[in-house]
Amino acid sequence: MAFSMMQLFLLGALGPLLVDELDVSPTLLGLTTTVGFGAAAVLSPVGGRVVDRVGPRRCLVALLLVSAVALALIGSAPGSGLLLAAVALGGLPQALANPATNKAILATVPPERRGSVTGMKQSGVQLGAFAAGLPLAALAGVAGWRGAVWTAAGAAVVAAGCAARTLPRDVPRVGGPTPGARSSLVPRGAIAWLAAFSLLLGCGIASVNTYLSLYGTQRLGLGPTAAGALVAVLGVAGVAGRVGWSKVAGQPARAVWLPGGLAAGAVGAALLLAAASFAHPLAWVAAVAVGVFAVAANAVSMVLVMQRATPGRAGQDSALVSAGFFAGFAVGPPLFGLLAESGQYGAGWLLVAVEFAGACAVAVWWAVRDRGGEKR
């Protein structure tokens, strides 16, 4: 999970260096996120089917190797063209990550432990944010940003080898589509609600991931390493939030109400980011709040997917909800980038607050309709 999104976390954490060396504008920096998550959104429904048919072990090894190639290409990019192509390639690992890991959990973990285990595996994404924002950002100060990205590529190759050796072999058709299982690429019922919630949540989270470091250097007076540390703080808080709230979500009666509450907390976090322009230390509090609330909400949605997935479609349903999340990641940063380009960071964080508020409204509406866990 960490490597599936490593390239985008690195682009966010190393954004100030890329802006200087490759002459990348803030708007183009946001476009890298759009390209990466746009590709992931398009590929996710197909990726879910592939996982259901091929098995999680093969798909996890493949996504790690493709991640390594994408990172190596980013580290070699002479300009924005190859940079965007490499980020687009990185959409494939993102498309496979949630379906493959969710499928593995359903196959190997008892129901009573799935909530906490899902939180741990989802925290891998924030481990990637931490690695990009602190050790790799610090390495970039010594070896250059290209050296930091190439180091991440090498680590992905090592992880692929470990996965191939340690994960259990895929059993043909175990957990695959059952006869009569619908194969529509259109989400329905609870999966449709979760996809809509994830779309709005993704818009806000992606804007924070992409522009938090740049905001720190351009508006808060932080150096590149300290600004990268903001991303690392968000990552650590996200790990704690995902593990803790996912464990709570293991109880279905509580899980249905969690997304709305966490999205409401995310609104407050976005408002704190806007206020940080006037009181700079609030940026660190806001980074923690984004991790605890917004980032954790995505993990809770994955727990709900596994609780509500149609038998034989765990990979496909996970992919459809992930597609909504990735579509949000594709849409959010360019909108924010237009504001950042003209220096209107305050308006950008207010836009993020509106996106989180929309996610909250969708989640609460669904929870009320769901009536304590009934499938719709």
Q: Name 170's Cβ contacts closer than 8 Å, sequence gap at least 6.
A: 54, 55, 56, 57, 58
* 309 DSSP 8-state letter: P
What is the model's pTM? 0.77
pLDDT in tens, 69-120: 999 999 988 887 888 899 999 999 999 998 998 888 887 788 888 888 888 8
Rounded Cα distance, 330 and 65, in Å: 23
Half-sphere exposure of 337 (CA within 13 A, CB side): 23
For the chain, give the percent of residues with pLDDT over 70.
93
Asked whether residue 218 carries a pLDDT value surpassing 80, the answer given is: yes
- Decide if 160 contacts 64 (C-beta within 8 A): yes
Confidence of residue 282 (pLDDT cuts 50, 70, 90): very high
pLDDT in tens, 164-186: 888 888 875 544 444 444 455 66
